[in-house]
């Protein structure tokens, strides 16, 4: 038994407004049929004007903190006997502003005091990277209790005329609380596999707004402020890298694919999830999917899928869970844990 980070709270938040496939088809040359058959997505949530990533992150973070308190046996408004959070890590690639990071504002608005807080930028793999970062700080003794949030509002960076990206992406935030515990406990993070390949940096990108574009005199070329993705090669790499990463972590943890109860993969496309399942030799019942209701919520994708799987009774205490993600960078990462007993409260939408 050794010191480990243990998952002890879970929350999520989606903006109120739902955009159906039919609504998109009224604005763009697409159809409910194309989007459903090519991606598995039926609808997505999008932020209202003026609403930002931090707003969703605060709501998800508050819910995860309430879940951690309830799991520890305390009422939401009861005397807080659990240790306070002493670290906030926010995974996002749509921060409220390019500078400073969004995490300190989120920590402040959650009333967490002067805790260390920072953003992690790994696009759709952001949550797994943030989880690994926070877990490592806990096992190293730098932190005792961490709030880890994945939040993104991709609707704010999409080209309104791009039928492909608008069909896929949705806004949202998901969060977990980690505490110091030991590796034998349910909820202990048992291992990680992380990787990147910058040769694919142009496949998923926002070209303008960074130092390279700004170091050139004159404004950005038209449209360069929008998110772009080269779907086909990204599809292939997503399947390959999530499968490879999952396999290498399973070997390290000592689980066979058949022994995994639930694989919670980044919710990019149902065809990607099925292809990863095929590569790993998984049955359909092992794969968690909520993308029909929320689309690809980027860094929020994995924690929102966890939240929905718990709320729907699909994910149960004692289940062996494999998390795996892939995203811009290119980046990928996987994590393994045995699902703990959790009080989650009512889902926030």
Active-site annotation, residues:
124, 266, 296
**Residues near 193 by beta carbon (within 8 Å), at least 6 away in sequence:** 245, 246, 248, 249, 252, 333, 334
In this structure, are residues 172 and 151 in contact, taking their beta carbons and an 8 Å threshold?
Answer: yes
Using the contact rule CB under 6 A, the part of the chain among 159-167, 170-178, 192-200, 307-315 near ligand ACO is: 159-167
Q: How, if at all, do strands 262-265 and 227-229 pair?
A: unpaired
> Is omega for the bond preceding 330 within 30 degrees of 0, making it cis?
yes
Candidate list 231, 292, 293, 347; residue touching ligand ACO; CB under 6 A: 231
User: Would you say 135 or 234 has its CB closer to ligand ACO?
Assistant: 234
269 is a contact residue toward ligand ACO (CB under 6 A): yes
**Inter-axis angle of helices 301-311 and 126-139, to 10 degrees?**
90
Closest contact distance (angstroms) between CB of 64 and ligand ACO is 23
* Shortest Å, Cβ 124 to ligand ACO: 3
207 touches ligand ACO by CB under 6 A: no
* Residue (232 or 346) nearer to ligand ACO, CB: 232
**How far apart are the C-alpha atoms of 169 and 87, rounded to whole Å?**
29
Using CA atoms, how far residue 204 sits from 87, 213, 226, 240, 301, in Å, is 30, 16, 11, 16, 17
CB 253 within 8 A of CB 324: no
248 near ligand ACO (CB under 6 A): no
Burial of 303 (0-12, 13-18, 19+ CB in 10 A): buried
Among 36, 185, 213, 235, binds ligand ACO (CB under 6 A): 235
**Contact track, ligand ACO, 60-99, x by CB under 6 A:** ----------------------------------------
* Beta-carbon contacts of residue 159 (< 8 Å; ≥ 6 apart): 165, 166, 223, 226, 227, 228
Our finding on whether 137 is near ligand ACO (CB under 6 A) is: no
- By CB under 6 A, residue 275 contacts ligand ACO: no
CA count, 13 A, side-chain hemisphere, 196: 13
Write out the H or E segment, with its range, that includes residue 251: helix 231-253
Q: How far apart are CA 29 and CA 45, in angstroms?
A: 20
Give whichever of 69 and 266 is closer to ligand ACO, judged by the CB atom: 266
| Nearest one of 196, 181, 226 to 9, comparing CA atoms | 181
Number of residues that bind ligand ACO (CB under 6 A): 25
Q: Nearer Cβ to ligand ACO, position 39 or 344? A: 39
Q: Does 163 participate in binding ligand ACO (rule CB under 6 A)?
A: yes
123 contributes a contact to ligand ACO by CB under 6 A: yes
Kindly tell me which residue out of 14, 65, 124, 188 binds ligand ACO, with binding defined by CB under 6 A: 124
Q: How far apart are the first and last CA of the chain?
A: 38
Number of H helices, E strands in the chain: 11, 13
Is 226 an interacting residue with respect to ligand ACO (CB under 6 A)? no
User: Residue 4 belongs to what H/E stretch?
Assistant: strand 3-13
Shortest distance, position 120 Cβ to ligand ACO, whole Å: 14
Among the listed residues 238, 265, 302, 323, the single contact to ligand ACO using CB under 6 A: 238
Tokens of 111: 């009333």
Which residue, 226 or 235, has its beta carbon nearer to ligand ACO? 235
Is 195 a binding residue for ligand ACO by CB under 6 A? The answer is no
Site string for ligand ACO, 6-45 (x = CB under 6 A): ------------------------x---xx--xx------
Q: Is 232 in the site for ligand ACO (CB under 6 A)?
A: yes
Footprint on this chain of ligand ACO (rule: CB under 6 A):
30, 34-35, 38-39, 123-124, 163-164, 167-168, 204, 229, 231-232, 234-235, 238, 268-269, 272, 298, 326-328
């Amino acid at each position: 038994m050794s010191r480990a980070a243990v998952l002890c709270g879970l929350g999520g938040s989606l903006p109120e407004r739902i955009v159906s496939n039919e609504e998109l088809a009224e604005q763009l040359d697409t159809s409910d049929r194309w989007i459903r058959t090519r991606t598995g997505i039926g609808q997505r949530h999008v932020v209202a004007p003026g609403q930002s990533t931090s707003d969703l992150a605060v709501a998800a973070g508050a819910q995860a903190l309430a879940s951690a308190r309830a799991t520890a046996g305390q009422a939401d408004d009861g005397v807080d006997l659990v240790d306070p959070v002493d670290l906030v890590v926010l995974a996002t690639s749509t921060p409220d502003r390019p500078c400073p990071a969004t995490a300190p504002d989120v920590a402040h608005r959650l009333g967490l005091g002067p805790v260390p807080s920072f953003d992690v930028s790994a696009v759709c793999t952001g949550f797994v990277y943030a989880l690994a970062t926070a877990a490592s700080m806990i096992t190293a003794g730098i932190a005792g209790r961490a709030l880890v949030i994945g939040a993104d509002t991709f609707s704010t960076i999409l080209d309104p005329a791009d039928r492909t990206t608008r069909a896929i992406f949705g806004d949202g935030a998901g969060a977990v609380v980690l505490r110091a515990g030991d590796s034998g406990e349910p909820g202990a993070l048992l291992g990680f596999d992380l990787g990147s390949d910058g040769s694919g940096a142009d496949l998923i990108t926002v070209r303008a707004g960074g130092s390279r574009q700004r170091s050139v005199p004159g404004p950005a070329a038209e449209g360069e402020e929008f998110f772009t993705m080269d779907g086909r090669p990204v599809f292939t790499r997503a399947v390959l890298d999530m499968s490879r990463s999952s396999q290498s972590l399973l070997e390290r943890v000592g689980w066979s694919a058949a022994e995994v109860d639930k694989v919670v993969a980044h919710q990019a496309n149902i065809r990607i999830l099925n292809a990863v399942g095929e590569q790993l030799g998984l049955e359909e019942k092992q794969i968690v999917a909520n993308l029909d209701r929320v689309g690809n919520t980027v860094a929020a994708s994995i924690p929102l899928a966890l939240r929905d799987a718990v709320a729907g009774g699909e994910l149960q205490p004692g289940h062996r869970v494999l998390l795996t993600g892939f995203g811009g960078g290119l980046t990928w990462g996987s994590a393994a844990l045995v699902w703990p007993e959790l009080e989650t409260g009512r889902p926030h939408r």
